[in-house]
Structure 1
């Protein structure tokens, strides 16, 4: 099964953010087909005057995905893919790869023999397929109480598929980012939202919380096949007492159920800790539904990777990957770039 994260246009949304170019490696073999989408980034260091690259999953999830496979031949298909992609990396001077595997499609399981795969944390979803009333079955008792109170207090929700613009959403989202002091990585500009509408207008579901004719909260979701991904959101702080997020989360679950979706995927927390506050908040809307999120690492050129780490002053086995891009190496990276340009 495909998901939006494996569409090339999705990867193109993040070329500027990752300072690279989206590429797709489609592997076709008599045993089956594998699709691999990634951002290829130039490494800002030169090894013996040669320029190299590394690759990374765009914002969200990805990794190689088996689209079809002859029964009983999955391991062989993975082996054939690995050999072909290894050659691709050699020809394209790709040194290392970092993957955020898809927790729902579970492609980490298929490729764990070829990547260093590590479990990070659980993500949360609201199961729409298996419950007649997902809000009653998946939402906690206190959450349902907050939703009823929000409705009594006058909060209404508007759900729009393929919205004409995202102007109000952008305003709320940027206010939200400023309020929480978010990293610039998450501060998407006007061009990003324009591209979202251009590439995926039909896949966007916008949920707005309205109080006394004012939009006090908004959520941007991606709908692809039978999956809904909660992508970005924003609320006005002065209306938090009205629980707009609770109302909007119920609204997308009810809309998704009515329109044939199987799942609303909310993602995980900001850390890997089981008591992460964001994770625990999301669990209120998915008490029975979790998925395992894994990352993957691969060094495709050991010799050059070691040289890059040495130039950057990084230990090759440090936790951050690739090590030569760690924050502790930034001064060395800048210095090396200046020396090689």
Structure 2
């Protein structure tokens, strides 16, 4: 494999914009802090990103923490096929026992909510070729491991050579050719009752597809996050929401449940090719007993159907357990909605991984956490436990009342 720099002055320690060739294919790795790399990344997203906001360079940059490096690997094949993989490279500052490192080591992760390589037309051999090149790049740049949160929509997952670890399920509402009446009929009895009570009480639905809905939504979401005691990283502000609208114009929608024209509850949806995601939500504390949360969530499902979504993803619970209260609430919105949710785990530098874990004698099996060398600091560095549905803190913790 030959490599040449594509950007002068980039930091080699975390992987500059570089290009490698293997059997006629080209692997390019782009850093967002390089203007040329960012432009190439954005162009690749337009070609292969499938309209996915979670894979958009502006989104990945916005959710990266200080000291981390938003990065994207793109492999182009002679037949025009492309594999696109955005991720965040983060420094490893200490080993499993908290001892500071005197060397530069890194690992990578995919930001919330879902991630992993994309490329629907890629063959098995092309995927293998991508991972061969990706592993070589990671080893060259001292990247120890990776953790991926894969979408529960099976058709949007590529085969993975690492360990697929099954977590608690996520909920997916299959819309297909269902009518509005079909969707309502598939609600669990208690959810259908709450929906009808809200409707009969005179609540109305207002849908806003643009930035004019931001202020009302932030008000509801912020009150919800404060009430839930959610980590600060789950709070969102107007600037972040404007970024989403500008990155994927027309692919975000606010669904407000209103009383006398005043928003009581809201759900923010984002759309990807053929799918929709219940991304963020919020409810006024004073409205918790008024069924507005259910009314907004059902209205969002109906809006997804109108927009042509094949499935509407509700994500999972908070605790990564099958009896999680939020997961139970979400199960009420459809029949047979449980979908397998995987995290992907891969070690690129085995000796370094074992050396980082050794001081505390920890392993994945003991901690339930990957990478195991981060188990001690997971509550301190702002990273959720892989598989723990921390994103659900922003998808409707208001139901935990």
Report the Cα offset of residue 168 of structure 1. 1.7
Q: 1:48 to 1:142 in 2, by over 3 A?
A: closer
Give structure 2 stretches of 5+ with no counterpart.
1-47, 381-401
Q: Quote the residue 2:250 is aligned against.
A: 202
Report the Cα offset of residue 139 of structure 1. 1.2
Answer whether contact 1:163 1:204 (CA < 8 A) is retained: no
Counterpart-to-counterpart distance in 2, 1:258 and 1:190: 27
TM-score, normalising length: structure 2: 0.74
Q: Quote the residue 2:110 is aligned against.
A: 57
Greater fraction of residues in strand = 1
**Quick check: 1:40 aligned with 2:89?**
yes
Q: 1:224 aligns with which of 263, 267, 272?
A: 272
Q: 1:322 aligns with which of 367, 371, 375?
A: 371
Counterpart-to-counterpart distance in 2, 1:171 and 1:128: 30
Q: Quote the residue 1:9 is aligned against.
A: 58
**Quick check: 1:82 aligned with 2:135?**
no
Answer whether contact 2:251 2:272 (CA < 8 A) is retained: yes
Answer whether contact 1:161 1:206 (CA < 8 A) is retained: yes
Alignment of 1:1-150 (within 5 A): 2=50, 3-16=52-65, 19-30=67-78, 32-45=81-94, 49-69=102-122, 73-74=123-124, 76-105=125-154, 110-111=159-160, 114-133=161-180, 134-150=182-198
Q: Quote the residue 2:230 is aligned against.
A: 182
Counterpart-to-counterpart distance in 2, 1:54 and 1:107: 24
Counterpart-to-counterpart distance in 2, 1:199 and 1:105: 25
Answer whether contact 2:268 2:279 (CA < 8 A) is retained: yes
Counterpart-to-counterpart distance in 1, 2:257 and 2:130: 46
Give structure 1 stretches of 5+ with no counterpart.
332-341
Counterpart-to-counterpart distance in 1, 2:202 and 2:378: 52
**Quick check: 1:290 aligned with 2:338?**
yes
Q: RCO (CA 8 Å, sep 6+): is it higher in 1 or 2?
A: 1
Answer whether contact 2:345 2:370 (CA < 8 A) is retained: yes
TM-score, normalising length: structure 1: 0.86
Answer whether contact 2:267 2:279 (CA < 8 A) is retained: yes
Report the Cα offset of residue 326 of structure 1. 1.9
Answer whether contact 1:163 1:201 (CA < 8 A) is retained: no
Answer whether contact 1:222 1:230 (CA < 8 A) is retained: yes
Counterpart-to-counterpart distance in 2, 1:20 and 1:314: 27
Report the Cα offset of residue 110 of structure 1. 1.2
Report the Cα offset of residue 320 of structure 1. 1.9
Answer whether contact 1:139 1:284 (CA < 8 A) is retained: yes
Q: Quote the residue 1:265 is aligned against.
A: 313
Counterpart-to-counterpart distance in 2, 1:178 and 1:283: 25
Report the Cα offset of residue 42 of structure 1. 1.6
Counterpart-to-counterpart distance in 2, 1:102 and 1:128: 17
Counterpart-to-counterpart distance in 2, 1:142 and 1:201: 36
Counterpart-to-counterpart distance in 2, 1:56 and 1:48: 20
Counterpart-to-counterpart distance in 1, 2:183 and 2:332: 10
Q: 1:65 to 1:106 in 2, by over 3 A?
A: same
Answer whether contact 1:163 1:206 (CA < 8 A) is retained: no
Q: 1:151 to 1:101 in 2, by over 3 A?
A: same
For the aligned residue pairs, the C-alpha RMSD in angstroms reads 2.5
Answer whether contact 2:114 2:151 (CA < 8 A) is retained: yes
Q: Quote the residue 2:31 is aligned against.
A: none
Report the Cα offset of residue 328 of structure 1. 5.5
Answer whether contact 1:35 1:67 (CA < 8 A) is retained: no
Answer whether contact 2:53 2:247 (CA < 8 A) is retained: no
Q: 1:22 to 1:137 in 2, by over 3 A?
A: farther
Answer whether contact 1:138 1:288 (CA < 8 A) is retained: no
Q: 1:195 to 1:329 in 2, by over 3 A?
A: closer
Q: 1:277 to 1:204 in 2, by over 3 A?
A: same
